[in-house]
Amino acid sequence: MVQVMGQEGWLDLAEPVVRASPTRLSLASRLYGVTDLRSFLEGGWRIERTLRDNRRRTRGTFHGAASFSPSGQALRYREEGRVKFGGFDGVAFREYHYAFPSSHCAHVCFADGHLFHVLDLTRGHFETTYACGPDTYEGLFTVTAADRWEARWKVCGERKELNIVSCYETSGSVDGALDICCPERA
């Protein structure tokens, strides 16, 4: 067990896990398992996101901030920032609700309360799938450091064919570290 200082004090991280599949888990040669997911997430994060619509051959970006703030025993996630994608250039936001049935696991729900996906980062990475009508969202989450993590979504179906990479860094981190986490930034 490794302890690192987080925004809410000391966080317990499992020993780094060497990645098993270099083709599936890119960017970091070592991943960091999180045993107290709520403490790891709580607080402010900067976000750099790249978006690619494979059908329209369009690329875009999102630059913004996210906060995980207490809401009873859960965390309320809110992100907002500027998105440039296709012909759109403006402010965007989204919200989720993170409920914690155990210290290492979250149920991520949409604002209306229905389940989006489960998240468990004890091994430093987690894969999930969500069916949205005729489209399927395949997510891969990785923790690359005590203050950085990323979410990669591949969306395929009748309506969409997207690749979305979101890199998160705590608000107190050294500037420039997102370039290491998310090198495909546009």
Residue 17 has pLDDT above 60, yes or no: no
Please report which residue ranges of the chain form alpha helices under DSSP H. 37-41, 177-181
Residues 54-75, mean pLDDT to the nearest whole number? 96
Kindly indicate the confidence band of residue 14, based on its pLDDT and cuts at 50, 70 and 90: very low
Question: In Å, how far from its chain's centre is CA 16?
Answer: 19
Domain boundaries, the chain: 29-180
pTM equals: 0.78
The two tokens of residue 47 are 């976000």
Which CATH number is 29-180 given?
2.40.128.20
Q: How far apart are CA 42 and CA 121, in angstroms?
A: 14
Q: What pLDDT shows up at residue 29?
A: 53
Q: What pLDDT shows up at residue 171?
A: 77
Residue 38, classed as helix, strand or coil, is helix
Return the biggest CA–CA distance within the chain.
48
